[in-house]
Amino acid sequence: MKINIYYGGRGLLDDPTLYVLDKMEDVLSELRVTVERFNIFEHKNDIYTLPHTFKDADGIILATTVEWLGIGGYMQQFLDACWLYGDKELISALYMQPIVMSTTYGEREGAVTLENAWVILGGQPCSGLCGYVEDLVTFELNQEYTLIIEKKAEDLYRSISQKIKVLPSSNQAIKQTVLRTQSMDLTPQESEQLSKYVSDDSYVKKQKEDIEELASMFKDMLGKSDEEEQYIREFKSHFSPAAGFSASYLFMIEGKKQPLFLNVKEDELECYYANKENIGVYAKLSPDVMDSIVKGRVTFQRAFMTGAMTAKGNFKTLRMLDTVFNFG
């Protein structure tokens, strides 16, 4: 017989759940049970592959610690992985015992959460263990508590070896009528491969980059003309030439592939999106700030002074922006 333990706490030295698990492992080892413990916090980068470790297990223990509210993020991620990528046929034959210790309020709710989750997954729940621990030393020295823990380990062994059945649960009915995973007919092997991809940060990052690139491409195809003309009409319509003044500006607007280039030569204005060199003033700002400027709510000088727009270059040339482009 083999039992896997999945610990969802943070691994702190004074975590009472770790003490309980150590005691249970001792009892199970005496019963000649092979025990393997998975500390989920050590697998935080590949949590979505952990459900595939169920393959050679006859039963599992889901253990966590309530430190302030609920079962904690690691255990919740693990349960999410079981729902999304776990082999439901394999889970249906697995007995699960919840172990939830608490240093605050909520150990019973935590145990119920684990049991409900396992029932919805289709597995077999066993009677669990939960308790509040105010002082770990006092808890460890209490022989009655130790006997309770050992008895729970024996109960788990008995449930698995005798394949004890449980009555039907309304959670199963809810799963069949309400809860649905997305309609992806995957074999267990395909599900395992998909979970490995999800846990691969470099793969996920590449997928996100590809999606962003495709989204940007389609956005360009659908609204290219509007993108190319944005702000250009406003600058041209509010251009107010200053005698003898010539300058060049380059606005790096967040989200734009190309900066906005302005070239003022007395009464002539060039305005288009392009990357240019040897510019008099380089400015960087967000689309919201640029919208406020072209709508006359904020001047270039005020945007620069408040830090909403950063700029480098000739500051005399920068101050002339509000003169040659009168948005007020």
Instruction: Give tens-digit pLDDT for 129-146.
Output: 999 999 999 999 999 999
Between the CA of residue 127 and those of 100, 117, 200, what are the distances in Å? 12, 14, 36
Indicate if 48 and 138 belong to the same structural domain. Answer: yes
Lowest mean per-residue pLDDT among 44-53, 99-108, 146-155, 203-212: 203-212
Q: What distance in Å separates the CA atoms of residue 117 and residue 239, rounded to the nearest whole number?
A: 65
pLDDT > 70: percent of the chain: 86
Q: What distance in Å separates the CA atoms of residue 306 and residue 308, rounded to the nearest whole number?
A: 6
pLDDT at 171: 66
pLDDT at 160: 95
pLDDT at 195 over 80: no
- For strand 2-7 and strand 59-66, is the pairing parallel, antiparallel, or unpaired? parallel
In a domain, 165, yes or no: yes
The predicted-structure confidence for 48-68, as pLDDT tens digits, reads as follows 999 999 999 999 999 999 999
Q: Into how many domains does the chain fold?
A: 2
pLDDT at 21: 97
pLDDT at 59: 97
Query: Among 152, 182, 212, where does a domain finish?
Result: 182
Taking residue 64's Cβ as centre, other Cβ atoms within 10 Å add up to 30
Helix residue ranges per DSSP H, the chain = 16-30, 73-85, 88-91, 107-121, 136-141, 143-161, 170-177, 188-199, 201-229, 232-237, 287-294, 300-305, 315-319, 321-324
pLDDT at 76: 96
pLDDT at 293 over 70: yes
Indicate if 147 and 26 belong to the same structural domain. Answer: yes
The predicted-structure confidence for 79-97, as pLDDT tens digits, reads as follows 999 999 899 999 999 999 9
Select the more confidently predicted residue: 183 or 108: 108
In this structure, what CATH number is given to the domain that contains residue 8? 3.40.50.360
Give me the domain span that covers residue 11.
2-182
Q: What distance in Å separates the CA atoms of residue 298 and residue 293, rounded to the nearest whole number?
A: 5
- For strand 281-285 and strand 246-253, is the pairing parallel, antiparallel, or unpaired? parallel
For the chain, how many residues are written?
328
Mean pLDDT (whole number) for 177-206: 63
In a domain, 226, yes or no: no
User: Quick one: pLDDT band at residue 199, thresholds 50, 70, 90?
Assistant: low
pLDDT at 229 over 80: no
In this structure, what CATH number is given to the domain that contains residue 281? 3.30.1050.10
In the chain, the DSSP E strands lie at 2-7, 34-39, 59-66, 95-102, 124-125, 129-132, 246-253, 260-265, 268-273, 281-285, 310-313
Paired with 137 in beta bridges are: none
